[in-house]
Amino acid sequence: MGPSISAAVEPIVETFGIDLLEGGSILRSPSTTPAQAVTEDDLGCSADNGRVTRLERAQTRARSLPSTLSLTYYEAQRDYQLGLSHSDVVDQFGTEAKIELPAVVGASEARTLGEDMMARHILRLPPRFITLGPGRQISLTGSPTHWQVQRSTIEGYVAVVELRPVWRTQAALAADPGRALATHDVVAGELSMALVELPDLTGDYTTGSALYLAASAEPAGWKPAPTEVSCGSFMTSSRTANRKAVMGHTVTVIEDDKVEIELIDQEQWLTSCDEDALATGANLALIGEELIQFADAQALGAGRFRLMRLLRGQAASEWAMDSHEIGELFLLVDGQALQPIALPASARGSLVAAYQPATGASATKTLRCRRRRIRSGAPTNAEGSARFAIDA
């Protein structure tokens, strides 16, 4: 494809040497008149009596005169993946030409096409050749003898013509297409979503709580998914975060400052941390409606962990400490894995629903009736973790 029909067709015409030439607004066939003979005495003309070589040979692509040519094509032997044929010379330096050939060819044919395009001639001929136009044929001494005019430019009384061989300059060249890079379709895992109300994760605890969308899936095939969020008559479009959330559910209730959880993605991992890390907010997680921090994470296998040395009721969530049950949400609080949802102020106290049309995954959350404003306070517990107070 290309911005015009000419741009789309040109790579095929140029590469394969098809006998079609631009004639104003249409493509035309070359002239059928006999080839015009050019003798050695006709070569090397100059309009200003300057010294000009009789014959210029350049391993170049027509019109751009590079010393290197890269030809991309579709390789049939490699499941139609893109192939690359590279042609250049060691005794000439210049720019690199790139041709994107929208055709299926073999490696040997691609190499031969590239070498053929490098075999171009530029001649400077006397005034009697000024009438030579694209498509005309001329005959030269040497091999090959017959050439077709690709471009003709008049400089003073000198005709400067660019030629290409009428016939291929060489037999097919051997080339190895390489091997196909096998691709495997990955079926996306079942999507799980949750709407959660958390303190503003930007760090500004004076703005109160905000609504976030968390999503996770089984190990394979994760990618962000568009979602529809509605609240009463209000509806907006959103999407899951770019990063998969570390999310799961509880297997036991919180007891003796420990709890067991199971992650949706069994390849995800939870790590332990020290007291200094806890004081900076590490390992902050939501269990049900309570925010906790955990110091120790003991792996039990198959995506299950035992979380120990818990700091309870973080960010003023003490009110949810006594309402836990088995199977409630576990979510590691990570701002990069949570998508904020903007809702009007009238949504307070209303039911918010998120829906993913392609998979049918959904989540609901009833917002608190009043926006809870969180203010930071000095550490109050013996372990030195940061605590927060709340103004309802």
SS3 290: strand
The pLDDT tens digits of the residues spanning 219-245 come to 766 888 999 999 988 999 999 999 999
Of residues 388 and 271, the one with the higher pLDDT is 271
* 264 has a pLDDT exceeding 80: yes
Give me the residue spans of the domains in the chain: 5-165, 192-391
Contact in structure between 43 and 158 (CB atoms under 8 Å)? no
**Whole-angstrom Cα distance, residue 389 to residue 208?**
11
Contact in structure between 159 and 130 (CB atoms under 8 Å)? yes
For residues 53-76, give the mean pLDDT: 58
* 183 has a pLDDT exceeding 80: no
**Whole-angstrom Cα distance, residue 28 to residue 19?**
8
Residue 8 dihedral angles phi and psi, to the nearest 5°:
-75, -35
* 383 has a pLDDT exceeding 80: no
* 375 has a pLDDT exceeding 50: no
Confidence of residue 63 (pLDDT cuts 50, 70, 90): very low
Quick one: what percent of the chain has pLDDT higher than 90?
32
pLDDT score for 36: 73
- Pair of tokens at residue 135: 């498509």
Quick one: what percent of the chain has pLDDT higher than 70?
62
Which range has the worst mean pLDDT, 105-109, 210-214, 374-378?
374-378
Residue 13 dihedral angles phi and psi, to the nearest 5°:
-60, -45
For residues 30-47, give the mean pLDDT: 70
Confidence of residue 378 (pLDDT cuts 50, 70, 90): very low
pLDDT score for 30: 66
**Whole-angstrom Cα distance, residue 365 to residue 362?**
11
**Whole-angstrom Cα distance, residue 324 to residue 29?**
83
Q: Locate all alpha helices (DSSP H) within the chain, ordered by sequence.
A: 5-16, 107-118, 275-279
CA angle 129, 135, 141 (to 5 degrees): 60
Give the CA distances from residue 362 to residues 113, 217, 332, 333, 336, in Å, rounded to whole numbers and listed in that order: 56, 13, 20, 20, 21
Average pLDDT over the chain reads 76
